[in-house]
Amino acid sequence: GKKMTSAEELPSSLNTEQNQSPHLPLCTNPGNPVFSCMLDPKTLMTNGSLTKPQVLLFKTTSSEYGAIPPISQMVPCIYHPVDQTFSKHLLTCASFQDSYLNTAIDRSRVYDYPNFQHTL
């Protein structure tokens, strides 16, 4: 007989491990848990008496989402609030007049008023 090397034995050992592992969800990288659904779409059907059953994953308008009362499959299990470190530091270190972020574009005589380009 032919002597088997460890490289030749590797695929058969991987196959047995794959057969024993539990079935993974369809989406292995969910991203934002609020907008990613890890459940089987067949379980996400509406059950309202006024509408025919529809799959919830493909609804896009707010009125359609709002017409359905929330169920446990639609609500995320874990909430991760936004870290407030930057805001706390800004409040403690900034003076009163600079305690906000300026999001407006600064006006300039050169760019906003082309007639005044060559004036001082």
Domain ranges for the chain: 33-116
Closest CA to 27 of 40, 12, 43, 13: 40
pLDDT at position 67: 78
pLDDT at position 32: 60
- Kindly state the tokens that stand for 67: 């017409």
Closest CA to 57 of 37, 32, 77: 37
Q: What percent of the chain has pLDDT over 90?
A: 0
Mean pLDDT for 103-109 is: 69
| 48 against 21, higher pLDDT | 48
Residue 18 has pLDDT above 70, yes or no: no
Band of pLDDT at residue 69, cut at 50, 70 and 90: confident
0.75 exceeded by pTM: no
Mean pLDDT for 26-34 is: 57
Q: What percent of the chain has pLDDT over 70?
A: 28
Residue 98 has pLDDT above 50, yes or no: yes
CA distance 43 to 59: 15
Mean pLDDT for 45-49 is: 56
